[in-house]
Every structure is written in structure tokens, then in C-alpha cells.
Structure 1
């Protein structure tokens, strides 16, 4: 891992946190928008719902909770959207190097190294810096899934032609569906997709060392990482399309929007036989999150890169350019203490629980953003 000290230099994007692609400010903006909710944006609506009870805040706050098992809420999109955006940057980084006849083996080595580093960072994020007993260590992680799924997607892009990439995409989704529905689990039989009885959880209990997040299941488990490759591939397809000349920006945005809507409809139909489920990262879940990711990319691309409406993007760009840093920093920096130190006393003067709770949620975001802005002004960005 390196700390980049020159924001204007040519920095090769990575699968975890791509460097800003100059022609796609929308990508950094969308990444920052995605990370905004993780760094505390959802707490604003939870605080409003809890303190006011207003119907609209309850509806929105409910969207910032994961379903217990099957189903989909807006909060489920944050993780796959990040993986999708990592894919979007691939044709701009690796594709440009391939056009310059760069050595594929060297590129592959860097891809694999980055993927494994992310797995390691995910283990540290879950367990801390100190070594735990093997049976107490949780190896699956969000960063680990981003690293592995992104790594395999990039290798597919590196070594295959577009037609073969589409075959990989369809084959993975259909193959995962077949395994999940047709392979029997000992003591359960086949076709069951409960937490206790499904092939992904069963395979993880056999292959993954240490502990699983829910003992018999891990939402970032090894086997369910396979279909996540397709989220990154969808990003790669979108990035390749945006990089292709011959269409206007408006045409590209409309095409992405239409394809995204098509995937959402297809996912809803597939849901009848293969439920949308983030815990198992089902193929229908891939399509609904990929479709929504395409829709968001189309909207941000049209507003920022086509219509050149950029004045509002700075807030999110500061977050997006250091997204991995803010994700990890919360485990080692007490931003909550700083928020309380600077803002709690003032907010208590309002004598209102709603003002205090919502104000503290906003204060936490302000402190984190100020930290990222300081890093931005220092031209310091965490890269893997």
C-alpha cells in the first residue's frame, strides 16, 4: 500500500479504489455519494425517524436497514455499487495500458497483488491488528470480497475478448443458480435457501477457516463471492461502453439507463424462482444491484460529464477520492469524540432531542469530511 502524495500525477486506478478518471468526474462523485451513506449519512434519517416519528422519515429510515434474509432495500446497494464502480474504471486504466502493448503478465501480477492486499486489509478490519486464535478469526470481509471479485473480473477482462467476457458473465450467474437450487445439502436436501440449508453456507463451513459471522453463515463468505464477480464485470461493460467513441454523451446516458432498467425488470422476474438475497448474493441480487448501479451511473454521468453541472460535486469528490481511507479510519480514529467535543455543547442548548440527535449525526459527517478535506489539500490519498 502506498500513500500518494501527488494528486495531479498519473496514478493507475485499482480495483479497490480507482484513482479519479479525468474524463469521468461522475465516477468519483458517485463513489463519494455511495460512501457518504456509510460514513454516517444513514444516521441522519434514523435520528429523524426515532425523534420525530414522521411517516416519511420512517419510510426512508427503513430503507437503511438490511432485510433479515430475502428481499431488497436501498442499503443493500452500497456494497455492490462500490464493486461496480471499481469495474467501470478498469477499461480506462488496464485498457489504456493494453493499447500501449503493456506486458499482460506484469499487469496480472499487480491485479493479484492488489486483490490479496485487500483480503489482508479486510481481515485486519474485522479482527484488529493483533493476532487472534485461528478459531476466533473472521476471514471473510467486505474488502476481501471486493478484492477477490474485482481481481477475477479484471483477469477475465485482461485475458479474454468482450464476447467471452459476456459468456463468463452469463455462465457464472446461471451456474450459481444451478448449484444453489440443485446441489443437496446434507440433512436438508436440495432447493432450500434458508440460512441453515443452502449450498453456499454449507461450503463455507467446510472450506473457510476461523469463524463465520453468523456461525453457520457469513454474508461475505467465500462461495457467494463468485457471483459478485459479475457486479464488477457489469462495471467493466459499462466502462468499456463509455470509453467507446461514436456516440454522444446523451446517447450513452440513455443507453445505460435503458439497460439498467432492463436488468432490474429481469431481476424481479428471476426473483420468483431465485429470490433476491444479499446474504447469498443470488444471481437476481446481482441483476437488481447491477441494474440500479447502471441507472445511477447514467444519471451522474449525464449531469456531471454531459451537462457539465459540476458545482455540487466537490463535497462528494473529496469523499470518493479517499473512500478506502475513510472506510478503514473509523476503526482507528475516534471521530465521534471529536464530534462531541466540538458540537455537543452547542446542540444541547436547543433543548430538543431531535436537534441533538440529528445535529450529532451531521456533526459526525462534518468531522469525517474535514479529515478527508485535510488529506485532499495535502494531496494525500490512500491507494492499494
Structure 2
């Protein structure tokens, strides 16, 4: 007698290439390296204009203004792999939604704490800013570290301690000059903005079932939503509240641009290869640049105001950078050099918060760097060296099994 067993095969949204994509990891690692550099060089006096953020009303963007969009773009490139990986592991629909919501909450909490750190009133809080910040980052590591204990309850004990510490720090926090302010989202911080865009993009990706045309349409809808909300009949009326999500819509558009490019390169059902792939990617680039150019006279290019022209130009730049990396790393197999960026690419959250940890630790210990490192060329060179040092430090922390995952 022959017995037949039915095996539940997870329904994938897209048929993606298996395994880690080195070019995406390298792109993520390079972006984080540049982020550390530009954040540190922002405190250096006498730096050239191209190393500074363009002013809000300047109608321009600099090299620095592309770093945040690059983060959003990479988030988008990773979403199809992350969601399909969860489905392949057997996650149900609701398990997947909970995972997405949990990651979003994590990013919002991190952004909220980081934004409020600089407003902390030490007298009212009863704790120095540096100590409060160090305890916060310690709690982050406890909550989001990937533990390797055979007994799961040990890991949950560490996570529980971290959560309790976060709640305590939120409870004692007092901010502002008068010390009467609690933790509040004046804005959500970089991580928080990424969190909102990630949430919206995940919802859209599932709603359109990974269809590239649907994603392209949603990019257009995000841009159109911004344009409509800028019209006087919305902006200057009792319905102005409708425009409260314009910034998130533009950030989501950047994430969706990265998501769409990921499908072009790695969705095997699309089967885009050779000249077909080049024409599709080139066409996407041209559409973004033409749209950016057409919208610029009306809305300008501004990172601060999160305008469509800034978003589309940044996404187009990211498309070019990634395409070059893909050709070198995945096509030509020139990839040995990527080993330097892999630790940061595989542990992006720790790499992101590590410079802040070092900064507050130096303050707590009363250590000051030589004044020469905060001016002109020496400051720029030090910022570059500092960024490289952070990547080496992350590599060492990886060996100690400190790896954060939302």
C-alpha cells in the first residue's frame, strides 16, 4: 500500500533568488560607513558646502542629502527577501503581520528615545545625559540582541531586563529647559521615519501581491498625494490635516523604488536578463529623472521638506550606485573587497548606534578629543578614520556574538 502525504508549501509573493545577495549587503555596508562619516563631519567647522546638508529653501541637494534616502532605498530592496523568507519558514498571515508591526514599533521606540536624548534636563531627570543615553543603548542591546542560548527562557530574561530598563528610563525622563516635558515625538528621528516608511511599504507590497506594475503605480500615488496636499484648497483649508503624512508618503516612495529595483534584478519570474534587464532599469531611471525635473519648478529639491524631486533624484542615484555594485560583485565576481563591509551590512542596527555609544561614553568618562580634530581638513580626515574604526569595532562585536535584529 502506498501512502501519500500532503506537504504544506508556503505561497511566496515573489520567486526570488536564494541566498544572501552580496551586492545588497555591500550597498548597505557602504551606506552605513558614509553615514558615520557625514554624521561625524557635521560637527567639524570649515568643511566645504558639499559636505553639509543643503538649507531647506535652497532648492538643492548635496552628497550628504542622499545618505538617508539610500537607507530607505536599501530597506525597500530587502523587503521582498525578508517577507518571502518569513513565508518560507512557515509564518502564517498574522504571524507575518505581527513581525512587521514589531519591527516598526522597535524602530519608532528607538527613534523616539534618540530624538529626546538631546533635550534631556539633567537636573529634572536626576541623571546625566551621558549616563541616561548609555543605559538606553544598553537596554537596546539587551532587548534586540540575537541570543544563542539553548534555553530560550534565558534570552527572554535578558530581553525582559532590557524592556524594564527602557520603561524606567522613559518614566524618569524630563526634558526641555523647564524640565516639564516627557518623551514626545517632536519628530520620530531617522529610525522612526524609516519605521513608518517600512510599515507602509510592507502593506503595499502585500496588497499588490508583489506585482511590479502595482508597486510602480503606488510610487506614483505617493507622489500625487504629496502634490495634492500642497494645493491651496488643501494646505490652506480646514482639511490641512490631510497633508500630515506627506513626508511619510515621500519616504515610502523611496522605499518602493528600492523594492521595485530589487524585483527587476532578483525576481526570477520576471526573468529580466541581459539587454532586457538593462532596458527596464534604464527606463526606470529615466522616468524618475524626468519626473524629478518636471516637479522641481513647483516643489523644489529639498531634503528638509521631503520633496518629490529630492526623493526621485536620490532614488535614481541609488539605482545607479547599486547597478554598478551588482555588475562588479554579482556579475563579474569582483567581491573579495566586500568582506570589509559585510560585518556592518549584516549588523546594521548595532553599526548605526555604535557611534552614539562611543560619543556618550567619552563624555561620561570626561575624555575630550584634541581641538584640531574639529576643524578643516584634519577634522575631515579624522571623520573618515573614525568611520573606518567603527566598522572594525563592529567586526569585533560580531565575534562576541553581539548582533542586533529588530
User: C-alpha root-mean-square deviation of aligned residues, in Å?
Assistant: 3.5
> Is 2:248 the counterpart of 1:225?
yes
**Residue 269 (structure 1) aligned with residue 258 (structure 2):** no
| Residue among 52, 61, 65 paired with 1:65 | 52
Per mean C-alpha deviation after superposition, the further-off stretch among 175-184 and 301-310 is 175-184
CA contact (8 A) 1:35 1:319 kept: yes
2:24 pairs, out of 23, 27, 33, with 27
The TM-score, its normalising length taken from structure 1, stands at 0.72
Query: Which secondary structure state, in structure 1, belongs to the residue aligned with residue 404 of structure 2?
Result: strand
- 2:291 counterpart of 1:291: no
Cα contact 1:81–1:290 (8 A) shared by 2: yes
- Where structure 2 has 5 or more consecutive residues not aligned to the other structure, the ranges are 1-17, 118-135, 137-168, 175-179
* Alpha carbons 2:32, 2:344 under 8 Å: kept: yes
Name the SS of the counterpart of 1:277 in structure 2: coil
Q: Per-residue CA shift, 1:307-357, capped at 9, x if unaligned?
A: 11112212222222222212222222238959x99x97xx99xxxx97754
The offset of 1:64, in angstroms, is 2.1
Separation in 2, partners of 1:241, 1:280: 30
Which one of the candidate residues 184, 190, 202 is aligned to 1:154?
Answer: 202
What does 1:66-85 align with in structure 2 at a 5 Å threshold?
Answer: 66-69=53-56, 70-85=59-74
The alpha-carbon distance between structure 1 residues 44 and 180, as it changes in their structure 2 partners (threshold 3 A), is closer
Separation in structure 1 between the aligned mates of residue 280 and residue 396 of structure 2, nearest angstrom: 38
Query: Structure 1, unaligned stretches of length 5 or more?
Result: 1-20, 51-57, 191-198, 205-221
The farther-off stretch of 69-78 and 360-369 is 360-369
Is the 1:115–1:151 Cα contact (8 Å) retained in structure 2? yes
* Change in 2 beyond 3 A, CA 1:178/1:318: same
| Shift in alpha-carbon separation, 1:254–1:36, aligned structure 2, 3 A | farther
Higher gyration radius (CA): 2
The 1-side partners of 2:192 and 2:40 are apart by 25
For the 8 Å contact 1:115–1:150, the answer to whether it is kept is: yes
Alignment correspondent of 1:40: 37
CA contact (8 A) 1:44 1:361 kept: yes
Deviation at 1:362, TM superposition (A): 4.0
Instruction: Identify the residue that residue 332 of structure 1 maps to in structure 2.
Output: 357
Q: Is the 8 A contact 2:50 2:62 kept in 1?
A: yes
Alignment correspondent of 2:216: 166
Q: Distance in 2 between matches of 1:357 and 1:234?
A: 35
Structure 1 residues 249 and 373 mapped into 2: Cα distance closer, same or farther (>3 Å)? farther
Give the alignment partner of residue 229 of structure 2, picking from 166, 174, 179: 179
Q: Any conservation in 2 of the 1:26–1:304 contact (CA below 8 Å)?
A: yes
| Residues 226 and 246 in structure 2, CA contact (< 8 A), matched pair in contact too | no
Query: Normalization by structure 2: what TM-score?
Result: 0.68
More helix by share: 2
Residues 366, 335 of structure 1: alpha-carbon distance in 2 compared, 3 angstrom cutoff: farther
Query: Aligned partners of 2:341 and 2:22: how far apart in 1?
Result: 11
